[in-house]
Amino acid sequence: MRFEFEDHLGAVTRIVSELERDGKPARNVTLERSYDATTDDLWDAITNPERLSRWFLPIGGELKLGGRWQLEGSAGGIITDCVPPRFFATTWAFGGETSWIEARIAPEGETWCRLSLSHICPVNDHWQKYGPGAPGVGWDLGLVSLAVHLSDTGFECFDEDAFTSSAEGKALIASVSEDWRRAAVAGGESPAQADAAAKLTRAFYIGEESEQG
């Protein structure tokens, strides 16, 4: 059975909102998507190291309140709140910058549940350049991989590198980049700034030269 990647576009709600974190301006980049899974199964998929390595990245450390963790070749952090199987919060340290992740799971009937994933980002030079698409497109790809992991399509592992280099993957990235542009404007960003950031983000993920580069 073929996994319909394009179904991901309409399945995700994308929101950008303003807030403060530690007394400084920040932006909350939120993705929400429903999955055909129980609350316990989805919680296990996003917190069990063995399962995380199958759909996201290998992870080391202690996945518990106060525990330090490290993704292979990527971010690390400290878990600051944890209420299984509904909520966890963690710092997200990468590239010399610290941001914050919050994940919430809410049941929808007996067999479905909804994941709300928020990445709270400081308004720094990186944000000014790339906007919400920088974390947003990356998490969109992660939620696609999670959907494949939870599906019964026969896919054992989602190859993100192969997907993003394919025509189908590039089309998805272009579409979600546009969705994040619209979300940025709806969240108060100027259209000109949102347009420029979206172009750079799309070029980065697709591996193309941007018009500004």
Q: Are strands 68-71 and 87-94 parallel, antiparallel or unpaired?
A: unpaired
**pLDDT surpassing 70 at residue 25:** yes
Pick the CATH number of 11-206 from 3.40.50.970, 3.20.20.540, 3.30.530.20, 3.40.50.150: 3.30.530.20
Q: How far apart are CA 210 and CA 76, in angstroms?
A: 29
- Residue 59 binned pLDDT confidence (cut-offs 50, 70, 90): very high
Residue 142 has what pLDDT? 94
Domain residue ranges of the chain, discontinuous segments joined by + = 11-206
Where residue 17 falls (left for φ over 0; alpha for ψ -120 to 50; beta otherwise) is beta
Q: Torsion angle of alpha carbons 153, 88, 16, 200, nearest 10°? A: -70
Q: How far apart are CA 172 and CA 26, in angstroms?
A: 27
pTM: 0.91
* Average pLDDT over every residue of 85-109: 96
Tokens 């619209």, residue located: 182
- Residue 89 binned pLDDT confidence (cut-offs 50, 70, 90): very high
The dihedral of CA 126, 6, 42, 181: what is its sign?
Answer: positive
φ, ψ (nearest 5 deg) of residue 205: -75, -35
pLDDT, averaged across the chain: 91
